[in-house]
Amino acid sequence: GIQVEQSPPDLILQEGANSTLRCNFSDSVNNLQWFHQNPWGQLINLFYIPSGTKQNGRLSATTVATERYSLLYISSSQTTDSGVYFCAVGEDSNYQLIWGAGTKLIIKP
Amino acid sequence: DADVTQTPRNRITKTGKRIMLECSQTKGHDRMYWYRQDPGLGLRLIYYSFDVKDINKGEISDGYSVSRQAQAKFSLSLESAIPNQTALYFCATSAGQGVNTQYFGPGTRLTVL
């Protein structure tokens, strides 16, 4: 099956810093989503981005499907950005999402 | 009100007990999913359902069963709970055709002693 690897596993930054999170996947996918899990456990969908680039405020994401990776950019980090960021991929044909282990981000004030 | 709700939010039970976790949604989505999350790991799919009559096993269905009582309700049962089923359980929904963005409930923290 598809393997998903996220890096780095942990990231500690000062408020105001920028960061780049990476997701590598082992096979072609038609579905790629980025999620944020806040410190209280709630999962929020950030982007549906099987290819191309999207931006939403301070967050943006780029997926290069031909090279099997996706990047999540966070600019001007705030303490509320802390939590775990997950990448999940899948083939629409079987409707299952395969999840990476996540990147734990801590933003210090 | 939340679009996807889960009950209970927390549950402590003993080995061998039958447990049911419930999920309801007001998003009008056809597809519903049950995942479990273990510490330090991503989510793993237990079961998913495309509509009331279509239920499918996910990656880790052993020891679990589900019931899709209506479009808006999807329940997960542990027939005889065991300690390694201690985890955080999430329900999710998606619209189906086209963009398959998934929306998650708040999670149920289950502890099996």
pLDDT single digits (tens) A23-41: 999 999 988 999 999 988 8
pLDDT band at B98 (very low <50, low <70, confident <90, very high): low
Q: What is the DSSP letter of A79?
A: G
Tell me which chain B residue has its CA closest to the CA of residue A31: B100
User: Is any Cβ of chain B less than 8 angstroms from the Cβ of A89?
Assistant: no
Tell me which chain A residue has its CA closest to the CA of residue B40: A101
> Pairing state of beta strands B54-57 and B43-51?
antiparallel
CB B32 within 8 A of CB B46: no
Q: What is the pLDDT of residues B24-68, one digit of tens each?
A: 999 999 999 999 999 888 899 999 998 899 999 998 999 999 999
User: Is any Cβ of chain B less than 8 angstroms from the Cβ of A101?
Assistant: yes
pLDDT band at A91 (very low <50, low <70, confident <90, very high): confident
Q: Considering only CB atoms, which chain A residues are within 8 Å of B50?
A: 95
User: Is any Cβ of chain B less than 8 angstroms from the Cβ of A11?
Assistant: no
> Pairing state of beta strands A103-108 and A10-14?
parallel
Q: Give the rounded percent of residues in chain B with a pLDDT score beyond 70.
A: 96
Q: What is the mean pLDDT of chain A?
A: 93
pLDDT at residue B39 in the model? 85
